[in-house]
Amino acid sequence: MTTTLAGKVALVTGGSRGLGAAIAKRLAHDGAAVALTYTSSPQKADEVVRDIEAAGGKALAIRADSADVEAVKQAVAETVHTFGRLDILVNNAGVLAIAPIDQFSIEEFDRLVAVNIKGVFVATQEAVRHMGEGGRIIMIGSVNSDVAPFAGVSIYALTKGAIASFTRGLARDLGPRGITVNNIQPGPIDTDMNPAEGDFAEGMKKTIAIGRYGQGNEVAGMVSYLASPEAAFVTGASLKIDGGLTA
């Protein structure tokens, strides 16, 4: 473990697996106490907590569907109650649905908006009530807010475009309080939901300048930087980590 984030407390939404788990572990490695939310993977969430604690860190898993406003509010409250403060919020929880616009159901649309936009708003609103100078809001957006490399991604892109705009506005709102707000925009990252092997992945790799999917720890490293004191002058930015997909 390092001490870059010693004394800090972080909340990572959707932190039980994939990219969220990598982020939670990295922040803990850098010295932060970490709370993470999960929806349907309690065993995975417990594994992340055990891994962090085994390495000498502090962690807490909280069941909270990011589409549930009261659950999100309670997750922030429980984090503060357990660890005494909140310094870093990573809005990682998100859902993806792909379909042509004339086949996209209202139910799927509502779910994407509820998790990818409203859930981010609620978590952020609650978190900043506990943050002081040096606070960090870090969004996990997507390169799809800037580029749609295949058909059917329009609604997902809509939600991630909203996050990019939200980031810029929040940077103005929270800058006077010494709180930074930034948006990380990953390209294809090797996770259970988007594995680096298979027919779809092989096609995507041809569009990536370095010819491979990214790894969760690579995105987690960018999160760690933005959470650190070194990034105090970085705010309102949307930073791509996509292997040159959008180059």
Catalytic residue numbers read 156
Residue 61 belongs to what H/E stretch? Answer: strand 59-63
- Whole-number Å distance between alpha carbons of 94 and 141: 9
Task: Identify whether the C-beta of residue 44 lies closer than 8 Å to the C-beta of residue 50.
Answer: no
Greatest extent of the chain over all pairs of C-alpha atoms, in Å: 51
Its sign, for the CA torsion 54, 56, 57, 59, is positive
- Whole-number Å distance between alpha carbons of 202 and 219: 21
> What phi, psi does 224 have (nearest 5°)?
-60, -40
- Whole-number Å distance between alpha carbons of 53 and 46: 10
